[in-house]
Each structure stands twice: as C-alpha cells, then as structure tokens.
Structure 1
Amino acid sequence: MEIVRIKIYTTFRGLKPPFEINFKSNSDRNEIDPVCFAGLNGAGKSNVMELISEIFFYLEAIHNLSAQKYVISKSPFGFYIEYRLPITANNLLVGEPSSYIVEGLQRTVCIEKKKGKEPEIAYQVDGYDRVVLNPKLQYKEDYLDIYDKLLPAKIVAYSSGGNEQISKPFRRMGFFYFDEFERATHDTENIGNTRLNRLYFMDYCSNAAVLLADFIFKDNVLNPGAENDELEYMKQVVDIQDIHSFKITFNLNIKRDYSYHKLKERMEEFAESAEVEQLLESFRALFFQKIDIPTQLQSFVTDLINCSTTQHFEFENAEQDTEEQIWVRLTLYFRVDRELKRAFQETFASIRVAGFFQNLYLLELLNLYNYSAELREEAKKAGLAKNLSEILPEIIQEDKVFYIHEVYLVKQSDSSRILYKSLSDGEHQFIQILGALLLMEEEGTIFILDEPSTHFNAAWSAKFFSTLNDIYLKRIERVQDKQQRRQNVIISTHSPIMLSDCKSKNVIWFEREKGKTQIKELDFETYGASIDYIIYLVRRQQSYQLENEQLRAENLQNQYEALKNQLNPHMLLNSLNTLRSLVRESQDKAQEYIQELSRVLRYTLQGNDTQKVPLSGEMEFVNAYIFLQLMRYEDNLRFEIRVDEQLPDKQVPPMAVQLLIENAIKHNEISNRRPLVITIRTEGGEWLSVCNRIQPKMTGESTTGIGLANLNKRYELLFQQQIVVEKTGDVFCVKIPLL
C-alpha cells in the first residue's frame, strides 16, 4: 500500500489550491521505509496529515448506511487521491483470477472529487486496462463490495499532541460504526458481515487493548519462537518483560446523560405518581439505562469469562430468590502466565490476534451508550468547523460500559511489578506506536503518525526508523512473504534526531512561503548526518525563510505606499477642476462644495493609515463624494444604491468604491441627451459591484487603466484576492471582494 499523489481543488485549513504532493515510490525496496514529513512548526505537515484523514473519512462515510445522511457525497470538499493497493485474498474482486495474488500484482486506485460533485472512481491492475466505475451505480448494493475492496484495508492514526483535527474524523466515524453495530445486534450472522473497523485512532483506551493483544498472542506458546523476535524489540526498548495481570469490567447499568431541560421534563411527569415504590422505580429508570451485550459479542464475552482467573458478578435481582439471576456488572481478573496465554490462543484460534483486538474495539464502542441520543446525533453532525470536545463531556472510567484497567507489567531488568499507568509518557508513546505496528499486519494498511516521538528520549528517536524496518524484516522472515512490507507508514516530525535515522529520499520537506505550504527537495543526505549538522541546516533554512518574509513585508509596504501616492493626487486634481467650474457658476454652490470636499479629503487622509475600512464607513464617504458629483452634473448623473446594511463586519480597501465611481464618470458621456446611471450593490454578502451602461465619450479620451490596475494590485498584494471586470453587451461592471 502506498499513496502516490494527493491534490486539492478547494481550500483545506492552511492548504490552498493548487496544492499537490507527490509521494516517492518504495516499490523497489526490501524495507518498509516510512515516509517522513519534516519541516518547521507551522509549515503544513499536520495539515496534510489532517487532509489524508479527512479524505479517507469521507470515502468511508459516503458508503456507510448510517453516515450517508450526515456526510454529503456532493460536498464542497474537492480533492484527488491516487494510491496503490496490493491484491490479496481479502480484496480480490469478483471475476479476477487468483493468479493476481500469486504474481504479487497491485491495483492503482484513482478517486477524483470535484467541488459539489460525486466522486469519480477508477482503478487499474498492473498490466491490464483501466476500469472506470459508473458514479450513478456506486451506491447500489452490488457495487458496495467493489467499492469496499478499493479502499485501504485499515487506516490507523495517532497524534501525540492531541491534535483533534486528526482524531476527529476517526472518532466521528466511530459513532456511525456504533449505529451499524447497534442495527445488527439482533442479527445472528457473523459480525464480519457488518462493515466496521476500517478507521482506527490509537488513544490511551485503545492502547490497552493493543498491549493485551500483542503480549498475549505474539508470545506464541502454541508455537514457541514463531513471533517472539518482533515482540522482543518492544520489550527491550521499554524494559518490559511481560504483563503480570489485568482486569476487564462490564457495566450494563449505566447513568443516563440528559440535558437539563429533558431531565426536568421527565421528573415533572413522574412527580404525579402517588405510589412511593412506583416513584422510586420511575426515577431509577430515569437515571439509569440497562445495556445488553450485543448478540455478535455474547460468545466472545463468554469466552473471556471462561479464560479469566476470577470473576466478580453484581446481579440485578440479587435480593430476590430466583432461579436465574441477571448480572449488571462484571469484573474479570486475569493473572497472566503461560497457561492463561495458552487458553487465550486456543480459545480465540479462529479469530487470532486481529479478531481479538477488533472485538475489544467493538466492546469499546459500547461506551457511546454513555452519551445521550441527542449528543450522539450532534457528534454525527459535527463538520470541519466544530470539535467533538466542544460537544462530548468526559466520562469517568467507573461509568463506562466497558473498560480495561489495573494493568500491571513486569520489568525486564529487575522483574519488579509496575502499574501500566505509571509508565512515562515516552514509554506509553513507544508502546502505542510499536504495538499498533506489530498488531496491524494486514497488507494495504496505512498508518498516519503525527509527531509520534515528542516524548521519546534521544536514543529512541535516533533509531526509530531503523527499529521499524527491523520489525518488518523480521515479519517478512517469519511469514516468508516479501509482500508483507506493503503497508504505508507516514510520519511527521520536526526532530533533527529522527531525521538522522531517515534517508533523505524518504523525506518530504515542508516550508511556508507567501502564506502557502510548499514542498521542497532536500540538498543534503539526512541519514547518518550528525545532529548538530542537521540542526545547523534547519536553523539556516529557518533564517532564510524569516528573511524572505521580512523582505516580502517590506516590499508590500513600499508598493502599497507607491500606489497610494498615485491614487490620491489623481482624485485631488479631479476635485479641484470641478471646484474651479463651480466657482464660475455659483458662489453658493462652490461654498457647499468646499464643505463636502473637506469631508472627502479628511477621509482620504485618514484612509492613508490603514489597509481596509468598514463597508459602512466607506459608504458614508461615497455618499459625500456622490454629493460632489451631483452638484456638478445635476440631473445628468444618477445613482442607484442597493447596499445590504446587514453586513456590518464586511470591509473594503479605503476609497475603492469611490475609485470605481470616478472611473465610470471619467470614461462615459454624461449629458442631458445621455444621462449616466451608476448602480452600486452588494451581491450575496461576498462582493460589491459598480455597474454602468457603456456610453463612450465623443472625444474618444484615452485611458491608461492605472486606476483599476492599481486597485487590483492592492487586492493581490494585501489580501491575495482579485477584482472582477465584466463587460456584458453594453454594460460594464467591476466587482470587488468584500473582506
């Protein structure tokens, strides 16, 4: 599995089109060779990680029955992604020969999603013709299986800094998986028939499940030595010999999570009850909810009970003498030794380590019952702009439906017992990353690891990439299959220590130039370079970038000042010419004109100190300027103003609207025979337009175009936008963006 290319058609956070990133192929290597995103903080590395996460969330969600009404397939999100998938028994399409697998062929998948359009999907097997799927049929039941097999087997993400923009797509997808799982709870067929578990986010809770799965199943007591070498790497690094013991708790009588108004409404309903017992029972039902173990997981839970060392049950009807008691809370204690591992490996032989972890993940999904239906609905609706942390409260462990706790480990150095929670942040981080890579062996899996080494010590960082490659080489040796390396690992870092263990051909260097993320080629070899040398080069690059930004800012200011010096004398000269004419005609009109002109010039001088002004202030100035023009042209000049007054926060460059009016007056005939009508209006809250009928002057006065050119230059330099000039028939319009 490897991503080949990604580009965007619409702005995505700090990334602006036409941003494109081309990945370097690792198809000719015998190692996994992770791709490394590197660069200074703020350069855009995490934005690309977030983009990849959001793309695969979208592709997963639009074909998930529960997600389809929340994630619009014709969304404004626009992107193109191309990736290569190994053909395996799990994704072999109907009609494709099994020889594809034997020959080690791969399938290139291309998905293009234009803004407001359905995604267009095509694929091509190595050496065969390209196949394009019909967009109108991709949601049909017959096509869902094809589409499902064109996506990566798993997308696994991690973020050390708690980057919610990366975790959110995965957590949000969990709510849709939960709905699918809940819908299938009464289905006695295999859970594999429900499309679940493509997107995984590795957090503290899931890490405990990864730890158990690795240490219980990778230490293969049924076939000693088969998988110990890979696990041994992690044991040595974090000084952990084994798991000593752990507990799993099920809580099937959970607290309900009601909003205040909903709770008050329900309590008022119950208050009318006269029977005390009935009232108590009503309040018990109000505050607590009984959860049932889903049908698909009941046998798994039974197997866990049978494998446990001891069990502690709490029964719903403990005070009643009945033949069948129903438990509502259960804590299982596991004392880990070779016999317990044997019991696990024999009991769960059919699903092995991946199936064991998946079932623990499904049990973890039951914790979404702790949120009310209202909160779950709000979380499913959360788009790019809203974080789930703003919606969902923290749930204390004891209130959860399912949790793993009191995990004790045995230190390798002195055989002492230590609580898993008491490990350092770096040890937790290393176990999370390495544990997930050990566990997720399926070909076609992509790992998105955002800053995975923030808590590593220097020694761990300096050999992190080498450790990953060593683990994959051990896996290849174990399974006797070189195709096992066909996974995609993408890591972001700003650590020069990690870069010293990564070949420069695998490094994608990010820089921020002129407010845009740029991809650069490194001109030095990072692998084996001294830390001091890499730090020197990074700091030199940072210094160059800072100098460039300073020079750019100075250049912008110099250009802006030059533009103002061109604009202001031009307007003043026109005004004095008008005043000279009015003095000859009427002293009263001239006096009134001078008063309004002073207001206009005062605004002009004030506007020299700012780059943009409120639209309301600009329109007050425009009205004063219009008054001056009407004094001169009288009924031969008319204005139609339709500016939305509900746009108080919108801004424009100072004197931008005045310049457009002056431009229309300058280049068109204004006479009793041909009065000029100028229309000023706002359009959709995004644009302001100034339009007039084209009435060329008989004198054929030439134009330099400096006014509109300068205005457009101001927009480009200061706001990275452009004005729009339109000529439709005999109507001329200029539209300026509202800021």
Structure 2
Amino acid sequence: MKLLRLKINDEKGFRSLNKDFEIKFQNGFNDSQPNDFYPYVLAGQNGSGKSNVLEALAEIFYHLDCIYVRYKPENFDQSDENPDGFNPSISRINEYELEYYTFLDKDIFLNEDKTKKAHISIIKTKHSRPEIKWINENEFRDISQLSQQQAKSLLPKYVVGYASGNNETLSFPFIKSRFLQFDEYLSTLASKEFVSPAAETSLVYLDEVYSQAILLTNLLMLDGINDNDENDLLAPFKDNVGVEDVDTFRLIIRSDIRIFPPKNSNSTEDEKDIRLIQNLDLKIPEQRPNLTSYIEKLKSCATTWYTDYLSEFDDILLNNEANYLYLDFKVNKATKEAFQFHFEKDPLKLFELFQLLMLQDAYKVSSERKNNIYTTQNIFLNQDINFIPEEQERILRFKDFKIKKEGIDKGIFTKELSDGEHQLLHTLGLCLLYKEQRCLFLFDEPETHFNPDWKAKFITSIRNCFKDNTPKCEMLITTHSPYLISDSDKKHVRMFKKNIKDSNKITSNPPSFQTLGSSINKITIEIFGANITIGDYALSKLEKINERFKEGENPEVLLNELDEQLGDSVEKTLLKYKIDS
C-alpha cells in the first residue's frame, strides 16, 4: 500500500494531534508512483506529535479489524448484557479521513487487473462506522457493493509495529489484537482440524521478544541452498553485523497444557478440556497421507528430538508434572533444505508458526482479564498484564541459539550481540519477512542503539531489502537522527512542529530545503531547532572565553586555551576569528 493522506476530524483530536491535523504523502494524488521503495521519515522535537501518527494509524486499523474479522470472542460485541463491548460506530478516533493506494488480492478479486493500484478512501464520522470507498473502482469493473470479504481485502494485510523504546501507547491496539488472534486459535481447538498459523487480524507488534524468531527464520529460509546461487538477501546481516550463518539452536515446546475451548465452539460435554497445541500436533489422517502437522514439520527438520517430563525444572514442578518436546538442530545445508521444503520456501509461514506458538503464552491470562483488556481505554496496558509467563510455563522457548560471525572461529550465542546489533537485525529482518506483502510498517525510533555509521547506512539498508520487489509496502519511521533525514529526499520527510502561537496545533510538512545530502549540522539546526553543533558544557567554556575576551584579556592566551581545551567546531572557529581579527 501507499499512503496518501490522514486527517483527524475528531473534535477532541487524538493524543497531541489536534482537530483538523492533516499529514499528506505522495505530494498529491496525481504523482506517478515509482517502483523504488522509500520509507517516510517523520522528524521533529520531542512531543511534536510524530509518534502519534503511528498510534493513530494502528488504532484505525485495529478498529477496522474488529469490524471485518469473521471470528470474534464470545461477548466481544456490545450488547445489553455487555454495554462496554465493541461498537463499530465508536473508536478512539471517532472522526477521520484516510486515503491510500493498494493492490488487489488475487484470491478475492479474480478477474480484475492486479497490476493497477486501487485508490481507497476510509471516512469515519461521529456515531457512524467507517465507510470504505473504492474511488477508482470504475477503472477495474462496474461499480458494485463491496462484500465484507472484499472490503477487508482492501485494508493492509499486515500492520507491523515496532518501537525500540517500548512505546506503550503504540502497542495499545496491537496487544488487544494479540488476544484476538489467540482467541481465534482457541475457537478452532474443538474442531480438531489443521489450522493455518496466519492470523485473520492484521496487526502484528514485534518487540524484542521476537528477535530470535525473526533472525532464525531469515537465516534458515532466505539463505541460498544451492552453491551456484547468487543470493544476497542476507547481505544486510552479513555486511553490517557480520552474521554469516546459524550454527545450532534448540526449540523447547511445552505440550501438556490443557485449556477449555470457548463456550461458542463445537466442544461437547464429554470434551471438557483440550491440549493447547492439539491442532498444531494432530495425527495424520489415513485419507490425507501427504498432510503433515506443524509439530511434525519441525521434527522432520530437526537433527534429533525427544520428549521429557520435568527435565530442567524438576525442583519447581515436582507437584505439577510437565511434558516438553525438545528439538535440537545442528544447522547445515540439509537443515535449510528441510525447512524450505516443509514451509514452502515462504519465510512468513515459518515465522507465523513461531509467532503463534509464542502467542499461546496468553493461556495464563484469565477470560475475565482478557475481556477487561478488550474494553479498557488504559493506554498503559503493558503495565497491567504480565503477558510472558515464567520460563517453565512458556509454550515455546529458543535455547542454545548460536550463530557464526565473521572473524570468530566458533559459534557465539545470539545473546552476546550488542543492543545495536539486535536492533539492526530485528528491523531489517522484519523488512525481509514482509517485503512481498501488502504491509504497513510503523517503526518508532528504530535506530536508537545504532552507532553513527549504522545510522548513516540505515535508510540504504532498508531500501536494499526491497530492491528486487515491486513494493506493496509502506513504511513510516519516526526519528531524532539527522543521519536518516540526510539520506532521504525532502519529499519523503515530514517535519513536525508545534504552532508558535498555539502549542495545541501541530503541523507536518516537507522541509523547506533539500534534505538529501544535507549536512548533519544543517538538519540539526533546521529541523530540531538546535542552533549549536556542540554540547552544552563545551559551549559554556566557549562563552567564558568570549567573556574574558570582552574584558580585554590577552588574545594570544585565549587562542592557546581554545586549541588546548576544545576540539574543532563551527562555534570554535567563529570565536577564534572574532578574537584574532
């Protein structure tokens, strides 16, 4: 998809975004759309509203998900018995306008042109449900009423959120969406049928908990298995961090947890509780010999596997017997061939299995607590819920994950990587996983732990992840880094400012100067309002020397002190010129 504009019409605004706030993309609707991928960089001082744009988009698409998903938990919708339930006409942003381009889903629109861009408008007015309009539908077919399934397919397939600083307000709708996905899976348990790990909902919040799953999936599924293949998809990993390959890893899956299916499922009176991972570990029906359960797929890829009771938690679980499946992998070419065969050479299929297994940790959350989460307006949701249970109670754990790194003879644990290395592998890994999807990426300050060199290369590294694809994605990045701005054309930068006369009003416009190739100093001054290029303490030393010069102290002594005490800067050069003239 490609965003065109977002306007907040709600009388109360949204967060720091005032009523009538509007952000425009694409510099108008008539621009030709290049096949090259570029992210939009949202920049500005702290509190200028840039992160609130990400939050607004996440909230809008969560609300639309709740309208169009087929499965909803019991008592989810508003009713006389549940007055606080979901209401399609009420959202945290009750009035807005959103426009974007998207591509048609080939499985939903069978006869329409899939190479042309569909122009979509979503308008929500107060006390009304959002209205989805296909503006250029007549260019594809005769105008007709959109079905529920068609309307949902015009929304992004995935909305991927990531915040390096654990932005709890951004994660708010994503956390709710996680429980929707979990309840969707629970609803299938009683059916005892194979289920796809892919969620019906679109929101995916992938914080640092998913880092190992992201890295492992990319290294297993994107590495060329033929010696003659020129496959450089993993070049961003290798060039920046020096990660060359997977060495070993272990998966531990707890398989004994039992749970009651939802009351509205097809469960019978005789079937009171069901094994949580049942539908991922079904026995193969004789009439479907070519079908393999997801747990069997993992076993088929493993170097060795076994089941064990209690094991490493003997002291903890003496009175509560637990059953674990251990899968050990010594990775070589055959291992990758097995994973790529069983998961159809689609990295997302493997990653979504990991994601679903990790999501099942939500079994520890009571139904009452889940219902409160669905209805709460407390934006600090993470403070109220321990989503990750104790280690021995988790459904999936990654252990002994070692990688081969350039310049190191033996494998190292991924935990030995620095915060910046984890962050870079995480963000670029997400790009590689979702690069072929109709996806909206919402990245909140993803470069905070990078060194200056990585910050300078980050936009290029992202673009390289999409270079061989006609982009179906959109990406918004909030940042305080002038390096990301210097590597972006001004038409891809939005500068956020509070109105001088009215601090409650926020503007978002392209900068007045060409940002691509501009110096860090110019960007720091023009966009972040920092009129100095050195630190405050160093500046105070310059000011003291300037005062001494005004008082008539010996210029030669002052010039010597400047050179001895301070490094080169614009401020120092100007003061030296003043003293020496």
Q: TM-score, normalised by structure 2?
A: 0.77
CA distance, structure 2, for counterparts of residue 388 and residue 379 of structure 1: 10
**1:384 offset after TM fit, Å?**
5.1
**1:525 offset after TM fit, Å?**
1.3
The answer to whether the Cα contact below 8 Å between 1:449 and 1:492 also exists between their aligned partners in 2 is yes
**1:487 offset after TM fit, Å?**
1.3
1:387 and 1:373, CA in 2 relative to 1: closer, same or farther beyond 3 A?
same
**1:88 offset after TM fit, Å?**
4.4
The answer to whether the Cα contact below 8 Å between 2:302 and 2:327 also exists between their aligned partners in 1 is yes
1:356 lines up with 2:350 in the alignment: yes
CA distance, structure 1, for counterparts of residue 190 and residue 365 of structure 2: 22
Deviations 1:714-734 (A, max 9, x none): xxxxxxxxxxxxxxxxxxxxx
Question: Which among 212, 218, 223 is matched to residue 219 of structure 1?
Answer: 223
Which residue matches 2:570? none
Which residue matches 1:345? 340
Which residue matches 2:117? 106
**1:19 offset after TM fit, Å?**
1.1
Which residue matches 1:467? 461
Deviations 1:29-80 (A, max 9, x none): 2421111101111100011111011111111112233165143101052222
CA distance, structure 1, for counterparts of residue 142 and residue 375 of structure 2: 34
Q: Name structure 1 gaps, 5 residues minimum.
A: 257-288, 317-325, 477-483, 544-739
1:66 lines up with 2:90 in the alignment: no
Question: Which among 513, 525, 532 is matched to residue 521 of structure 2?
Answer: 532
Alignment of 1:394-543 (within 5 A): 394-473=388-467, 475-476=468-469, 484-513=470-499, 514=502, 515-538=504-527, 540=529
1:539 and 1:408, CA in 2 relative to 1: closer, same or farther beyond 3 A?
same
Instruction: Describe the SS at the equivalent of 1:463.
Output: helix
The answer to whether the Cα contact below 8 Å between 1:245 and 1:409 also exists between their aligned partners in 2 is yes
**1:331 offset after TM fit, Å?**
1.8
Alignment of 1:591-610 (within 5 A): none
CA distance, structure 2, for counterparts of residue 306 and residue 196 of structure 1: 27
**1:304 offset after TM fit, Å?**
0.6
Alignment of 1:633-672 (within 5 A): none
Question: Which among 226, 235, 253 is matched to residue 250 of structure 1?
Answer: 253
Question: Which among 19, 22, 29 is matched to residue 21 of structure 2?
Answer: 19
CA distance, structure 2, for counterparts of residue 424 and residue 291 of structure 1: 38
**1:292 offset after TM fit, Å?**
3.3
**1:442 offset after TM fit, Å?**
2.5
CA distance, structure 2, for counterparts of residue 451 and residue 336 of structure 1: 34
> Which AA in structure 2 matches 1:441?
K
> Which AA in structure 2 matches 1:294?
Q
Which residue matches 1:598? none
Instruction: Describe the SS at the equivalent of 2:135.
Output: strand
Deviations 1:11-38 (A, max 9, x none): 2111121111111267532421111101
> Which AA in structure 1 matches 2:377?
G
The answer to whether the Cα contact below 8 Å between 1:124 and 1:131 also exists between their aligned partners in 2 is no
> Which AA in structure 2 matches 1:232?
A
Please identify, of 395-404 and 504-513, the stretch whose mean Cα deviation from structure 2 is larger: 395-404
Alignment of 1:125-524 (within 5 A): 125=136, 128=139, 143-187=147-191, 191-192=195-196, 196-222=200-226, 224-225=228-229, 228-253=231-256, 291-296=275-280, 298=282, 299-315=293-309, 328-349=323-344, 352-383=346-377, 385-392=379-386, 394-473=388-467, 475-476=468-469, 484-513=470-499, 514=502, 515-524=504-513
CA distance, structure 2, for counterparts of residue 297 and residue 144 of structure 1: 32
1:330 and 1:41, CA in 2 relative to 1: closer, same or farther beyond 3 A?
same
Which residue matches 2:38? 33
1:179 and 1:533, CA in 2 relative to 1: closer, same or farther beyond 3 A?
same
The answer to whether the Cα contact below 8 Å between 1:155 and 1:446 also exists between their aligned partners in 2 is yes
Deviations 1:185-231 (A, max 9, x none): 243555349852522111123222211111001012158525x3121
Which residue matches 2:5? 5
How many residues of Structure 1 are paired with residues of Structure 2 in the alignment? 480
1:253 and 1:518, CA in 2 relative to 1: closer, same or farther beyond 3 A?
same
Which residue matches 2:566? none
* RMSD (CA atoms): 2.8
1:43 lines up with 2:45 in the alignment: no
> Which AA in structure 2 matches 1:2?
K
> Which AA in structure 1 matches 2:95?
G
The answer to whether the Cα contact below 8 Å between 1:113 and 1:119 also exists between their aligned partners in 2 is yes
Larger relative contact order (CA 8 Å, sep ≥ 6): 2
1:184 and 1:133, CA in 2 relative to 1: closer, same or farther beyond 3 A?
farther
Deviations 1:463-488 (A, max 9, x none): 11122223322x23xxxxxxx22311
**1:315 offset after TM fit, Å?**
4.5
Deviations 1:595-644 (A, max 9, x none): xxxxxxxxxxxxxxxxxxxxxxxxxxxxxxxxxxxxxxxxxxxxxxxxxx
> Which AA in structure 1 matches 2:494?
I
The answer to whether the Cα contact below 8 Å between 1:504 and 1:527 also exists between their aligned partners in 2 is yes
CA distance, structure 1, for counterparts of residue 309 and residue 435 of structure 2: 40
> Which AA in structure 2 matches 1:401?
I
CA distance, structure 2, for counterparts of residue 290 and residue 126 of structure 1: 46
Instruction: Describe the SS at the equivalent of 1:485.
Output: coil
